[in-house]
A and B are shown apart, each in its own frame.
Chain A
Amino acid sequence: MQMLLEQLLNGLTIGSFYALVAMGYTMVYGVMKLINFAHGDLFALGSYLGYTILVIGAGWITHTFGIWGGILVAIIGSMLGIGIAGLIVERIAYRPVYKAGRLPMVVSALGASIFISNGIMAVWGPRFQAYPQTSIPTGSIVLFGDIRITILKLVTILVSLGLMAAIYWIIEKTLFGAAVRATALDKDTATLMGVDFNKIILFAFFVGPALGALAGVFVGLNYTRIIFNLGWNYGLKAFTASILGGIGNIPGAMIGGLLLGLMESLFEGYVSGAWKSVFVFLILIIILIVRPTGLIGEKVAEKV
């Protein structure tokens, strides 16, 4: 029972990372019908940016703001930085090739992905880097019975879920969110309504990567070690999560991410850790064959 709950908590943690990254994929896909290959690498860059902020600022930040303050600074700094990076990627890798067609866009995305991940390697080196121990909070609290959870993990889950809820609210409950959804459905008609497509792109390419950056910093804090091609593995799994939830569907991406995290953790706990990635990829392949609109299904409105 203890193990089950532990695995569930682990699953929820990693699931929220998948969800945060998946939301970024889905946002961009919805608006541009393009799988942003570079997205996973932006997530990794976010993790490294957080690391750099903590390492460089370590003494000063922890001294002035305390350990949690330090984390907050790292998160905000990383989210802002990666949001901007996302806009730059759109400008450089996508905008110039919109007119050239599908293949050039995919290739350019791939090029951007290779560039960013190798750029990380060039700047921070090919070996593992570790988030500094002094910046990682310790301590745990009791949940119930004799189930303990580290405060870090609790905060991670709560903040991630909180941000997901915020994005959900923006997309589903505000007029701006309606404009985003409308643009994803029918760009021309949305333009007739007065929606400026460029602003929607800005939103998708800022917020999406920023969410990824948040996940990146949390990954660094929770798992300590990070490596330059982190983005690639997470990115692929997050993409699986978006497919699970139905690509283009933001609430679906959230649920898909959490679900995938739980399934992977349970598999790791009860079957095998070495094969867990294979498990996830098999899920991806099977879903694409059997139910390409995802488990949640694309919201398709039909007259009854």
Chain B
Amino acid sequence: MEIKEGNVVAVLGANGAGKTTLLKAISRLLPLKSGTIKLKGENLITFPAYKLAGIGIAHIPEGRKVFSTLTVEENINLGSWGVRTTLPTKELQKAKDWVYQLFPILKDRRKQLAGTLSGGEQQMLAFGRGLVAKPKILLMDEPSLGLAPILVQEIFRVIKQIHEEEKVSILLVEQNARKALNIADYGYILETGKIVLHDSASQLKENEHVRGAYLGGKMLMDQKL
């Protein structure tokens, strides 16, 4: 798999296809059996997981995973932990202000415990928390999961915004294929851990096989139904 600088790459596929496993492997939370992960030519295998936040990779995990008994503010502040020694305080403060600008509701709820936020607000918090470190690469795992349509719109609007304004490269794992392909440049379709299809997003959007991959797999692609 390849992610070109500044691109949004969508990773699609049915449940159990291995999308979350892929992201966890890139984040070094899961060990690799074989293969390599290279960031600008440098092999990431030598890095332990906790170092990735410091070199510009942010992973926004599936299911939001906010720290529920910490306040919103503490969650956001923790987002800067990985870069607390590499970025000057002024920069960090600017980054935090920027996140509060992107998600004004987080500013309102700064002192609230993260677990008391609604699903959509928690997603925004998880998102914002990942952005504080000003990452160059964003790994997003199913940001639309369990959210009402209007919130999904909002999340995707922000994804588009930071992609265009900050030139962040994004690897987006999504079940909502249409929304993902709308903002992606390129897409990969996974099935039982393997890439079965990849193409530019515009091509994939027209492709009947995408529906097959979700709702009937190989059998249907072979017109067996």
Question: Footprint of B on A, CB under 8 Å?
Answer: 175, 178-179, 181-182, 185-186, 188-197, 299-304
Contacts and interface: CB of A to CB of B under 8 A. Distances in A.
Nearest to B82: A194
Given A178-B74, A194-B53, A299-B69, 12 more contacts: A175-B78, A181-B69, A185-B70, A189-B65, A192-B53, A194-B81, A194-B82, A195-B50, A197-B50, A300-B68, A300-B115, A303-B115
Contacts of B81: 175, 179, 193-195
B179 interface: no
Interface string B42-53: 000000111111
B220 interface: no
Nearest to A181: B70
A190 B82 CA distance: 10
A193 B60 CA distance: 10
Interface of B: 27, 29, 48-54, 58-59, 61, 65, 67-70, 74, 77-79, 81-84, 113-118, 129, 133
A193 B53 contact: yes
Given A175-B84, A194-B50, A303 B118 contact: yes
A191 B118 CA distance: 24
A13 B132 CA distance: 45
Contact of B61 (A189, A196, A197): A189
Contacts of A303: 115-118
A186 B67 contact: yes
B219 to A, nearest CB: 36
Contact of B49 (A178, A179, A186, A191): A191
Contacts of B48: 196
B3 to A, nearest CB: 18
| Residue among A182, A191, A194 with most chain B CB within 10 A | A194
Contacts of A178: 67, 70, 74, 77-78
27 contacts: A175-B81, A181-B67, A181-B69, A182-B67, A185-B68, A185-B69, A186-B67, A188-B29, A190-B67, A191-B50, A192-B27, A192-B29, A192-B53, A194-B51, A194-B52, A194-B53, A194-B133, A195-B78, A195-B81, A196-B48, A197-B50, A300-B69, A301-B68, A301-B115, A301-B116, A302-B115, A303-B116
Contacts of A191: 29, 49-50
Contacts of B84: 175
Nearest to B64: A189
Given A181-B70, A188-B29, A193 B129 contact: yes
A301 B114 contact: yes
A179 B115 contact: no
B114 A194 contact: no
B115 A194 contact: no
Contacts of B77: 175, 178
Given A192-B49, A193-B78, A194-B54, A301 B65 contact: no
Contact of A186 (B51, B52, B58, B65): B65
A89 to B, nearest CB: 24
Nearest to B71: A178
A233 to B, nearest CB: 32
A186 B63 CA distance: 12
Nearest to A189: B65
A193 B61 CA distance: 11
Contacts of A185: 67-70
B69 A301 contact: yes
Contact of A193 (B29, B68, B82, B113): B82
Nearest to A177: B74
Nearest to B73: A178
A192 B24 CA distance: 10
Contacts of A301: 68-69, 113-116
A27 B51 CA distance: 24
Contacts of A181: 67, 69-70
Contacts of A182: 67, 70, 78
A85 B59 CA distance: 37
